[in-house]
Structure 1
Amino acid sequence: MKRAVLAEDDELPPGGPPVPPWPGHAVQLDGRSVFVRSTPSPGAEPALYVHGLGGSSQNWTDLAGLLTPRVDGLAVDLPGFGYSDPARRYSQRALADCVVALIEQTDRGPVHLIGNSLGGSVSVRVAALRPDLVRTLTLISPAMPFLDPRRSLQGRVVPFLALPRVDRLAARQMAAIPPEQLAAEVLKACFADPDAVPPQRLAEAVEEARRRSEVQHFASAYTGAMRGLVLSFLRAQLPGPGSLWAMARRITVPTLVIAGLRDRLVDVRVVSRVARAIPDTRLLLLPYVGHVAQMEVPRVVARAILGLLDSVSLEHVGLSRHPG
């Protein structure tokens, strides 16, 4: 494990007002419509962004824009989220299979794979099982296994996942909350300082919350993905290759792990364990940041990712000069 190296800020595009979400289109995967947003950069290396539980491809708007000169970006709405069709299953395996299918069908591999929270644990699985599809791996507050529910705001809802038709209960509860209130609660849980969210991003969060309340399958997707995540946490306590920790130890690609020390959703102590488990890792801890560093401090995250890409490029040059 090494400390992350930040590229110089002037390697990024100049700052400015928030841009709107990037345009997107649907991709057909096994008869299912999966929505993706693109930040094209012809000739650049491909990158794929994978959002967290309850999120969408919009979570990557700022970071994808900053990295566009360096990578050709694609941000996916996982099945059941954003504008993607619902899925039959929302297990970790099913979501990882979707990511693999997307990389293969778009012929983009190997990609710089970047995942946040649930998207981080899904990306760990993809990188471990299909290393041929991954060039580098970046994990932002990855939802890797921990068993103390007191370490997460989500811990209080875990017992309800055992109830029959819990998705209907969740749908009724979400429908009873005004979109403005729901968006504010989500931002409060995810950001260290929700008051710092730009007005445009707040308006987008409200609009997304409104749309979720109108989409019948969202509650099923949310509870299904959370149930799959909890099951992966429990499976990780057993020996064998199916454990997420065993998969992390199998990852061979250069990896960057980023965490906000004010994360209220993922146990911050887990992040250091992730960095120790993956052999070739750089670690970046951010003291005044919450669960979604790519949204809170996108320039810092972009500089760390560029630092990773720069180090990989230098290592590649060194190997080509000294093949022995």
Structure 2
Amino acid sequence: MPDGPATPTGAERRPARLSTAALTSSGTLPPPWLGEQVAVRGGAVFVRRTPWTGPVDGVAAGAPRERALYVHGLGGASTNWTDLAALLAVRFDGWALDLPGFGRSRPPARTSYSVRGHVAAVVDVLERIVAEPGEGAGRPVHLLGNSLGGLVSLFVAASRPDLVATLTLVSPAMPVYRVPRAFSRTLLLLLLPGIPALAERRLSGVTPEQQVRGMVQMCFGDPRRVPRARLEQALAEMRERAEQPWATQALTRSMRGLISSYLRVGPRNAWRLARSLRLPTLVVWGDRDRLVDPALASRLAAAVPGARLQVLEGVGHVAMLEAAEPVARAVLALAEDAAGPVTADDEARAS
């Protein structure tokens, strides 16, 4: 199939370089970052802000200060990026959004959960970040996405490269033509009229405790690595979400939108768009990913010209949660190399 995940002949896979920058290590887990509602087309989304801290072992004056946006996956929320954003704050002012219908974001005005709708929301937030006054204003933003958020970020980078400085894809939900083992084949029924409403009713009977337990088992390579504090936060967040009448609708219909996007052929197919990218890209995958086949990691890294590849041993679907430090070092190295060597003119402008 021409739009499938074929590996380009002779494509080069570059291993990810890891930055040696000192990272914050307080010994305690940071709480979820504060946020606010931000207007986008068709409504508003909740966006959390992780402020820049500057170098851990250096002088803040003249240090790189760039901007980053984090996009979560299906069933996730902006809090999925809490730990990674804290580490990357040595270089980035960070923003993490709740996609429409997830986290603290209300559903889109027309209750459409298509991939295209999520892409529009991310573009709107990116434009707002680029326009915000302060250091970094007017410059492209480092874009990071996981799972569904990774696919959305790929579409954003392909359609609006002017907004994106670098692209990091953590187990992105690239189109496949075989249902992963972790999924029930009945999910394909979501494409049929009337089935999403039935799925919503069934999911509404699952308790927050059951949802968190299932999420940990499915998304982590080693569930024992999840700190108790993070489990408690996830449970509190799931209970809050259970009170939102649109919660299960957002999940089932976003899944339907994701599967529908897999059927897209021609120039808007995700694999074709991946081959068209011309910006610094990092592909991150856990070799124990049960949701998106780790075999796709090398295929995607080969498809994107010049992409770097980081495969993490023993890690599952949410590497930014399970292995935050190595992911942070790979992302920082990507940003360092994209910025290029510091020249005398750069130092003069910064002083």
Return the TM-score normalized by structure 1. Answer: 0.92
Structure 2 contact 50–89 (Cα < 8 Å) conserved? yes
Q: Do residues 62 (structure 1) and 91 (structure 2) align?
A: no
Q: How much has 1:313 moved relative to structure 2?
A: 2.4
Post-superposition Cα deviations, 1:59-93, rounded to whole Å, max 9, x if no partner, equal: 00000001112001000000000011101221111
Q: What residue in structure 1 maps to residue 299 of structure 2?
A: 273
SS of residue in 2 equivalent to 1:309: helix
1:157-236 equivalences under 5 Å are: 157-235=186-264
Pick which of 133-142 and 88-97 moved more: 88-97
**Higher helix residue share:** 1
For 2:234 and 2:194, the matched residues in 1 are separated by: 27
1:1-324 equivalences under 5 Å are: 1-8=13-20, 11-41=22-52, 44-87=65-108, 88=110, 89-106=112-129, 107=131, 109-149=139-179, 151-235=180-264, 238=265, 240-314=266-340
Structure 2 contact 204–248 (Cα < 8 Å) conserved? no
Post-superposition Cα deviations, 1:257-291, rounded to whole Å, max 9, x if no partner, equal: 00000000001111211111111210001110000
Task: Give the alignment's Cα RMSD to 1 decimal.
Answer: 1.9
Distance 1:141 1:152, change over 3 A: farther
For 1:316 and 1:103, the matched residues in 2 are separated by: 26
SS of residue in 2 equivalent to 1:153: coil
Distance 1:312 1:263, change over 3 A: same
SS of residue in 2 equivalent to 1:265: coil
Structure 1 contact 167–219 (Cα < 8 Å) conserved? no
Q: How much has 1:155 moved relative to structure 2?
A: 4.7
SS of residue in 1 equivalent to 2:289: coil
Pick which of 284-293 and 172-181 moved more: 172-181
Question: What residue identity is the alignment partner of 1:258?
Answer: V
Distance 1:282 1:258, change over 3 A: same
Q: How much has 1:160 moved relative to structure 2?
A: 2.7
Distance 1:5 1:32, change over 3 A: same
Post-superposition Cα deviations, 1:160-217, rounded to whole Å, max 9, x if no partner, equal: 3034333433333233222112110011110011122111110111112212222111
Pick which of 43-52 and 260-269 moved more: 43-52
Structure 2 contact 41–121 (Cα < 8 Å) conserved? no
Q: How much has 1:315 moved relative to structure 2?
A: 6.1
For 1:312 and 1:31, the matched residues in 2 are separated by: 34
Structure 2 contact 188–259 (Cα < 8 Å) conserved? no
Structure 1 contact 152–266 (Cα < 8 Å) conserved? no
Distance 1:21 1:273, change over 3 A: same
Return the TM-score normalized by structure 2. Answer: 0.85
SS of residue in 2 equivalent to 1:241: helix
Q: What residue in structure 1 maps to residue 6 of structure 2?
A: none
Q: How much has 1:24 moved relative to structure 2?
A: 0.7
For 1:44 and 1:306, the matched residues in 2 are separated by: 12
Q: How much has 1:221 moved relative to structure 2?
A: 1.2
Pick which of 188-197 and 258-267 moved more: 188-197
Structure 2 contact 41–120 (Cα < 8 Å) conserved? no
Distance 1:211 1:160, change over 3 A: farther
For 2:278 and 2:314, the matched residues in 1 are separated by: 31
Post-superposition Cα deviations, 1:271-312, rounded to whole Å, max 9, x if no partner, equal: 211111111210001110000000001011101111111222
For 2:241 and 2:195, the matched residues in 1 are separated by: 17
